Chain A
Amino acid sequence: MTTSDNTSSSESPGSSAPSTLVAASARTPLWRDVVVLKWVTQVFLLAVVLSAMWFLASQAGDNLRARNINTDFDFLERPVDIQLGEGIDTHPDTGGRALWAAMVNTLRLSVAGIIFATVLGVIVGLARLSDNWLVRRIASGWVEMLRNIPLLVQMIVYYSTMTAALPRLGLDAGPINGWLHVSNKGISMPRVHIADGFYQWAVVVLIGAVAAHFVRRHRQRIQDETGANASPILWALGTVALFGLVGLVVHPAFFWLGAVFGAIADLLDSLPNAVPQLLLSAIAVGFATTWISRFVSDHRSARGHLSLTDDDWFRIAFTALVSLVLVYVAVRWTGLSSWILNSGRDLFGVLEAKFDVDGAARPFDAMRPDIVQKAKFPNYGKNGLTMSIGFASVFFAVVFYTSAFIGENVRGGILAVSKGQTEAAKAVGLGRGQILRHVVLPQALRVILPPTGNQYLNLVKNTSLAVAVGMSDIVQVGTTVFNQTGRTLPVVAIWMLFYLSCSLTISVVVNWFNVRMQLVER
């Protein structure tokens, strides 16, 4: 085989036919062909994995049936007896509502955590590089202390310290009664919240964002042409702000969007099941054909000669097979199609309701915190923005913990920018702030961003430890739900789906920034 390869490569393409014939006649038998063996092994492994999963699933099914445990999602619509410590709905009436409120809690915690951890992390990273000895030592002490103590231990330390050290809640709670209350039931402050007109206002802001994009491009072009600082980002932000301000007045103009969403909901309601089935099948087949045709065209030489190895044929066959299986699943599993239709209808129905408001409704409202005394002990009312001790301890723990890691990333990124860059910038006459903003940070960000994205993912996942301090995040509420209803598997599936989509979102955003950063270079 090797000899025939050598000859064919040395000969001109025109005379390659006879040598291929030789190779074909001396073809290795099937049981010694490496490609065939590889594919047999892979398919075998796939079969083993699938049958092991099937075996476990059937075992679980038997065991669950024997113990009278169901695995359906009915509990989402059934009443449950759960009280959440905080969030959009502290006394949810159904399991689904409880999980939704808990999800919002987790998201709040994650978003706030990411913002504050980034700010604190940058401060720590810069402090580690400070020319002040004391600041440097404090920053490295901060990093070494927080990195080496388990997050859960830190969280519980904060929790027990705060519950023990903060004062009891009274009607005259401080430090600024009526504005800011701090007690061992949490921290309560004034709240700005979205009101009925918010969604119409959001449409105005969305239009503003599109306008801002064009403004930014325009200003950028001016800057590129004249060389003067046209501050495109500032202009873009200003445009959005302008639209936001104007939107406060003009937002009722968009009331008609509700009717549009209503029409879409009705349309989805009237569609037969066959439409999503066809759509799903078309997507599966479409992906497979695109992949195969691209694969084939990639393997076509410049002169149009197609040379596919056995391995490539196996790949093509496998892709086609997978797409067929997906089509089969889409057609046979009618529940999936009707679920898609129903949830689409519900989504647009909700949107319709959001736009169906009184024309004078304000987009925002604000309230001051209150303290109510219904029974023996006073408690925070619903008006203020209340952060329970559980929330605060999880928040501080994840922010401090992640700031130590982000600080190390920032430090490493800045050190990775070679000294020559700073010196060159100094030589051109840039000031300290300018050097940092225009020379060091853009280059350092390229190094900092990927590991910091990982830290964001970790932060979101770490908020799940809130279950240890009784904060109502999705894990804690999910545990309560399955303890009451016995639906462990569905709840775990919801957890996985939720965290996977969070992770996916963050990695998409970070990758987007990352790609932009890389493009700036050349």
Chain B
Amino acid sequence: MGGFGIGSRNSAVVPSANVPIAAPPEVLKLPPREWVKANLFSSPFNSVLTLLTTVVLLAIFRGFLAFVFDPVRQWDSTATNLQLFMTRAYPDDQYIRIWFCVAVILILTGVSMAVWRAGSTMPVAAIGHKLLGTGALLVLLALLAPFSASATIQWLVAALAVAATGEVLRRSPGKGEDERTVSTLTVLVIALAGLVASLWVVPYGHHTYIANRVPRVLAEPGTVALTTKLPWTVMLLIVVTAYFAGRLMRDRLPANPIRATLMVLWLLAPPVLVYLVLRDPDFDIGHVVGTDLPIFLAYATGGAALLSWLTRPSTGEAGRIIAVLILLVGFCTFLTPMRMVVRIDMLMLAVFALAAPTFAGGPRARKRYAVGWLGVLGVASWLITSINTPSTVEVPGGFFIGGLSITLMVAVFTILFSFPLGIGLALARTSSMPIFRHLSTGFIEIVRGVPLITILIFFSIMVPLFLPTGMHLDEVTAVIIGYVLFSSAYLAENVRGGLQSVTRGQHEAADAVGMTTAQKTVFIVLPQALRVSIPPLVGHCIGVFKETSLLAIIGVFDLLYIARIVIPGQTEFMGSARENLLFVSVIYWIFAYQLSKASQRLERRTGLGER
């Protein structure tokens, strides 16, 4: 229904009863002259409106071009500081770690795209149409921008070349059924390959910023430095290879295990990449072997044995009593001095023990549950150990990473942690138990009534005061905790919408087959509720990504802070804030726009929003 409003005056085709519902609405192709008359000059009012908006639009476009192509602009401040924008002061000799992370994510992306059959086909003519539009825009740009005569001619030639290519593609033979189409992924790869190839050919110039006592800028003419163009070429090759490997896997192997593995890998990727690769904990082997490993092994063996007994359907009452006892013991550990790991592990075990009856079943189910415990325990223990271990990566000043990396890192971790919390809050808010409901409602409403920035300021200043003596949290972690709490309240509201859309019949049917409340929630209600709330959840994720920019206010070196404070503070680039802010806006826009487009595609593909 989304396209209903656009061009509705053309789509006056009334679907009769025997037309299949899925048929796309037929858009009548008008010849250009009539199209212009119908869409721009249909009435005197419309004509005036068209002329007026055209004039205003051209004036704005011209002003924008005058800003961008003004010789005063210091665009080399952006080019020189690209590395700063991406990772801030991450040391050059360790940079291979960054590339490794990018490669892992690209491999996962490539394989996932193949396995989930991402991308669609588009007609060649449509690409031609788009290129033609781009060409027209470039012609306009060449004419309006404050160029010298020769530069104008160069731009015009380039624009006409683009437009000509578009026109050739547009007139490519084949109409109707045997229309020539091309996969969007191919188009994407060709575009990226062109971009990467241009790094080898076009003399963009080297740009290096040397932050010594007297900062220096190295901007030499020539092609891009090898340390930039080689990795990007490798990355392109990697993602293409990964895609074809993924296609092989998809054709040879059963679908579900691959998908499950990929999901787990995607979930594990953020902590592993951040805490193993980027931060590189300097493990004190003696301590790890002497303290951390025994604790892990004790919980692993004891917990697995206990859980596999608790998940036996015949355990009954005793299991619940034991689970509650473990919970009590977990809370009692806070009364005596003890390692934090022991307490956290005990509480995790208590949660698993309490949930055990829900997953009770045959030997396979029990084994799976115990393995799940081992996995969660392993990841948690390893994370706790590596967070508490100093890093070998020496980064000047504060947090180990910055720029776009910290923006993405904070967004990903916030979304990752606020999901379970938000779902829990939503379940509590819709629960029939009044105390749960009121606590959760109170939390959600208070958090939603307060702006994010006050929460971030509060957490960045106050968290050290709330911690027991001896515990230490760096500012970014404290802020992520605050952000997780904030985001989970909004997420809970989105999930609640989904929970309310699950019909009564589903609950009653689950009751009728004898499911417990927990089983009903986990296996019947939540899957349906989450599916319905995918669109608002994606919207929420975009919001979380955009609002990481607030970190700049409390002085975290994110994308915005670097553009606004750091680069204009460099002696060479005084007053270059606007150029860099424009660049940062474009980066944010690309990410957010692509996410929202992807969400719309997902919505269409899963048939959500259609009756």
Please provide the chain B residues from 35 to 69 with a CB less than 8 Å away from any CB of chain A in the complex.
39-40, 42, 46, 49-50, 53-54, 57
Across the interface, do A153 and B581 meet the contact criterion of CB distance under 8 Å? yes
Besides A55-B334, A136-B6, A496-B446, 6 other CB < 8 A contacts? A42-B434, A45-B435, A60-B466, A132-B49, A153-B581, A503-B448
B75-83, B93-101, B548-556: which lies at the A interface? B548-556
B120-128, B197-205, B275-283, B453-461: which lies at the A interface? B453-461
Across the interface, do B5 and A465 meet the contact criterion of CB distance under 8 Å? no
Across the interface, do B453 and A464 meet the contact criterion of CB distance under 8 Å? yes
| Residues A148 and B53 in contact in the complex (CB < 8 Å), given A63-B465, A160-B578 | no
Question: Once bound together, how far apart are the Cα atoms of A405 and B59, in whole Å?
Answer: 26
Partner pick for A152 among B6, B435, B552, CB 8 A cutoff: B552
Partner pick for A489 among B42, B462, B468, CB 8 A cutoff: B462
| Residues A157 and B578 in contact in the complex (CB < 8 Å), given A152-B552, A464-B453 | yes
Is the C-beta of B439 less than 8 angstroms from some C-beta in chain A?
Answer: yes
Is the C-beta of B436 less than 8 angstroms from some C-beta in chain A?
Answer: yes
Is the C-beta of B254 less than 8 angstroms from some C-beta in chain A?
Answer: no
Q: B317 — nearest CB in chain A belongs to which residue?
A: A32
Is the C-beta of A488 less than 8 angstroms from some C-beta in chain B?
Answer: yes
Across the interface, do A499 and B553 meet the contact criterion of CB distance under 8 Å? no
A264 → chain B closest CB, angstroms: 32
Across the interface, do A495 and B454 meet the contact criterion of CB distance under 8 Å? yes
Partner pick for B560 among A135, A153, A415, A489, CB 8 A cutoff: A153
What B residues does A500 contact at CB under 8 A?
446, 449-450
Across the interface, do A156 and B458 meet the contact criterion of CB distance under 8 Å? no
Question: Once bound together, how far apart are the Cα atoms of A254 and B578, in whole Å?
Answer: 56
Interface mask (B445-488 → A, CB under 8 Å = 1, otherwise 0): 01011111110011001101111110000000000000000000
Across the interface, do B435 and A43 meet the contact criterion of CB distance under 8 Å? yes
B365 → chain A closest CB, angstroms: 24
What B residues does A63 contact at CB under 8 A?
464-467, 469
Residue in A152, A467, A492 with the greatest tally of chain B CB atoms within 10 Å: A152
Question: Once bound together, how far apart are the Cα atoms of A227 and B466, in whole Å?
Answer: 68
What B residues does A56 contact at CB under 8 A?
466
Please provide the chain B residues from 556 to 611 with a CB less than 8 Å away from any CB of chain A in the complex.
560, 564, 575, 577-578, 581-582, 584-585, 588-589, 592-593, 596
Is the C-beta of A383 less than 8 angstroms from some C-beta in chain B?
Answer: no
Number of interface residues of A (CB under 8 A): 65
Name 25 A/B residue pairs within 8 A (Cβ), A-sorted. A45-B436, A45-B439, A46-B439, A59-B466, A59-B468, A60-B462, A63-B466, A147-B596, A148-B589, A149-B588, A150-B546, A157-B582, A164-B578, A415-B4, A461-B451, A467-B453, A467-B553, A475-B453, A475-B457, A479-B457, A489-B462, A492-B462, A496-B454, A499-B450, A503-B449
What B residues does A345 contact at CB under 8 A?
none
Q: A146 — nearest CB in chain B belongs to which residue?
A: B589
Q: B439 — nearest CB in chain A belongs to which residue?
A: A49
What A residues does B434 contact at CB under 8 A?
42, 315, 318
Question: Once bound together, how far apart are the Cα atoms of A39 and B453, in whole Å?
Answer: 37
Q: B39 — nearest CB in chain A belongs to which residue?
A: A133
Across the interface, do B454 and A499 meet the contact criterion of CB distance under 8 Å? yes
Is the C-beta of A387 less than 8 angstroms from some C-beta in chain B?
Answer: no
What A residues does B5 contact at CB under 8 A?
128-129, 411, 415
Across the interface, do A504 and B449 meet the contact criterion of CB distance under 8 Å? yes
Across the interface, do B581 and A499 meet the contact criterion of CB distance under 8 Å? no
Across the interface, do A144 and B560 meet the contact criterion of CB distance under 8 Å? no
What B residues does A461 contact at CB under 8 A?
450-452
Please provide the chain B residues from 78 to 129 with a CB less than 8 Å away from any CB of chain A in the complex.
none
Is the C-beta of B9 less than 8 angstroms from some C-beta in chain A?
Answer: yes
Is the C-beta of B331 less than 8 angstroms from some C-beta in chain A?
Answer: yes
What B residues does A59 contact at CB under 8 A?
465-468
Q: B550 — nearest CB in chain A belongs to which residue?
A: A152
Please provide the chain A residues from 189 to 209 with a CB less than 8 Å away from any CB of chain B in the complex.
none
Give the 3 A-B residue pairs with the shortest CB-CB distance, closest first: A133-B39, A148-B592, A42-B435
Is the C-beta of B547 less than 8 angstroms from some C-beta in chain A?
Answer: yes
Please provide the chain B residues from 230 to 272 with a CB less than 8 Å away from any CB of chain A in the complex.
none
Q: A136 — nearest CB in chain B belongs to which residue?
A: B6
B409 → chain A closest CB, angstroms: 16
Question: Once bound together, how far apart are the Cα atoms of A63 and B464, in whole Å?
Answer: 9
Interface mask (B327-354 → A, CB under 8 Å = 1, otherwise 0): 0000100100000000000000000000
| Residues A138 and B466 in contact in the complex (CB < 8 Å), given A153-B584, A157-B578, A465-B553 | no
Is the C-beta of B433 less than 8 angstroms from some C-beta in chain A?
Answer: yes
Q: B547 — nearest CB in chain A belongs to which residue?
A: A150
Is the C-beta of A90 less than 8 angstroms from some C-beta in chain B?
Answer: no
What B residues does A504 contact at CB under 8 A?
449
Across the interface, do B435 and A156 meet the contact criterion of CB distance under 8 Å? no
Is the C-beta of A220 less than 8 angstroms from some C-beta in chain B?
Answer: no
Question: Once bound together, how far apart are the Cα atoms of A156 and B582, in whole Å?
Answer: 10
| Residues A132 and B40 in contact in the complex (CB < 8 Å), given A157-B582, A157-B585 | yes
| Residues A38 and B553 in contact in the complex (CB < 8 Å), given A150-B546, A461-B450, A464-B451 | no
Question: Once bound together, how far apart are the Cα atoms of A145 and B237, in whole Å?
Answer: 32
Q: A57 — nearest CB in chain B belongs to which residue?
A: B466
Please provide the chain B residues from 13 to 55 with a CB less than 8 Å away from any CB of chain A in the complex.
39-40, 42, 46, 49-50, 53-54
Is the C-beta of A340 less than 8 angstroms from some C-beta in chain B?
Answer: no
What B residues does A130 contact at CB under 8 A?
49
Is the C-beta of A64 less than 8 angstroms from some C-beta in chain B?
Answer: yes
A448 → chain B closest CB, angstroms: 15
Question: Once bound together, how far apart are the Cα atoms of A380 and B239, in whole Å?
Answer: 59
Question: Once bound together, how far apart are the Cα atoms of A415 and B609, in whole Å?
Answer: 14
| Residues A144 and B593 in contact in the complex (CB < 8 Å), given A132-B50, A464-B451 | yes
